[in-house]
């Protein structure tokens, strides 16, 4: 109990702008999901075939993703060599 003129000892004070620490627990599902539901959800995901663009470098034709075309043309990325 606070004395007269004193505030209670709280973790959050108007003078202290930082909020009290929150618990660092993860979210936990309330119920278990069935295998069928999980597998049905996972089966909806499909991988897409990457779209490739033809690029001619030094007389050789290479197929690269569109975002790499400028780098391949400048010679910053080497294609077809391992």
- The string of pLDDT tens digits covering residues 43-70 is 998 888 889 999 998 888 999 999 999 9
* pLDDT above 80 (res 40): yes
- Tens digit of pLDDT for each residue in 5-21? 666 655 555 666 666 66
Query: How many domains does the structure of the chain reveal?
Result: 1
Residue 64: give the domain boundaries.
50-82
pLDDT for the residue numbered 70: 93
Is 78 within a domain? Answer: yes
pLDDT for the residue numbered 18: 62
Is 73 within a domain? Answer: yes
More confident residue, 3 or 64: 64
- Alpha-carbon distance of 13 to 43, in angstroms, equals 51
Residue 5: alpha-carbon gap to chain centroid:
51
Is 41 within a domain? Answer: no
Is 1 within a domain? Answer: no
Is 38 within a domain? Answer: no
Q: Is the pTM of this model over 0.85?
A: no
């Amino acid at each position: 109990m606070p004395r007269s003129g004193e505030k209670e000892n709280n973790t959050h004070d108007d003078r202290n702008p930082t909020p009290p620490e929150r618990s660092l627990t993860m979210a936990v599902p309330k119920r278990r999901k069935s295998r069928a539901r999980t597998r049905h959800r996972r089966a909806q995901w499909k991988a897409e075939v990457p779209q490739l663009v033809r690029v001619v470098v030094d007389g050789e034709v290479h197929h690269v993703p569109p975002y790499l075309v400028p780098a391949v043309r400048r010679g910053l990325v080497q294609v077809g060599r391992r």
